[in-house]
Structure 1
Amino acid sequence: MASEQGKQLEIEVAFALPAKQKILSVKVAEGTNVYDAALNSGMENYFPDLDIASARLGVFGKLVAKPAEQEVKQGDRVEIYRPLIADPKASRAKRAEKKAD
């Protein structure tokens, strides 16, 4: 898909921990994908332990299966998701096992 050279889109990139969250307004070139938008947002400056390369990404609460292939649109909010602390299936199984005892 051809794009006008130099056209900029305004988007937001968001990340949150339980005690701290940040939403950055970012300008990116038209044609930028979700992954590159997150990577180039500078979010790691605010959260040094954040590893965007291994994080799951979404747009407006919907997980993006292939962030390196999906382009951002004007006004999008790219969300960087934290890894789960525990596997939900394993947690449910453990609770069910305790309840059975």
Structure 2
Amino acid sequence: MAAPESIEVQVCYALPDAAFLRTLDLPAGSTVRQAFEQSGVLQQHPEIDLAVNMVGIYGKKKTLDTVLRHQDRVEVYRPLQADPKEARRRRAGGKASKT
């Protein structure tokens, strides 16, 4: 069976109050970086810096040169606003002091 000439992928960028989600047809062999460039997300959200923001496919960190497969969902991640461990400690400490 011959390899497909094009693949369909989604590009996703989630914000607290909105989300960017675009489906693209790209040539087979396209990379994560190419998907971001073709999607328009970088123009619509100039705060995204691919040199700084982590990226991934379906919640798993990947590099910009990762080759995409058909039906991958490419994501760009925002920095955490709070350290998850510290937030958990605050919640646990707050509950303990109420008893």
TM-score by length of 1: 0.71
Deviations 1:50-83 (A, max 9, x none): 22332222222x212x323421111211111211
Q: Count how many residue pairs are aligned between Structure 1 and Structure 2.
A: 94
Change in 2 beyond 3 A, CA 1:69/1:44: closer
Change in 2 beyond 3 A, CA 1:55/1:40: farther
Structure of greater Rg:
2
Q: Does 1:73 align with 2:69?
A: yes
Task: Confirm or deny: 8 A CA contact 1:10 1:28 kept in the other structure.
Answer: yes
Aligned to 1:63: 60
SS class of match (2:7): strand
SS class of match (1:54): coil
Fraction of identical pairs, as percent: 34
The one of 20, 31, 34 aligned to 2:32: 34
Runs of 4+ displaced beyond 6 Å: none
Task: Confirm or deny: 8 A CA contact 1:39 1:52 kept in the other structure.
Answer: no
Unaligned stretches of 5+ residues in structure 1: none
Unaligned stretches of 5+ residues in structure 2: none
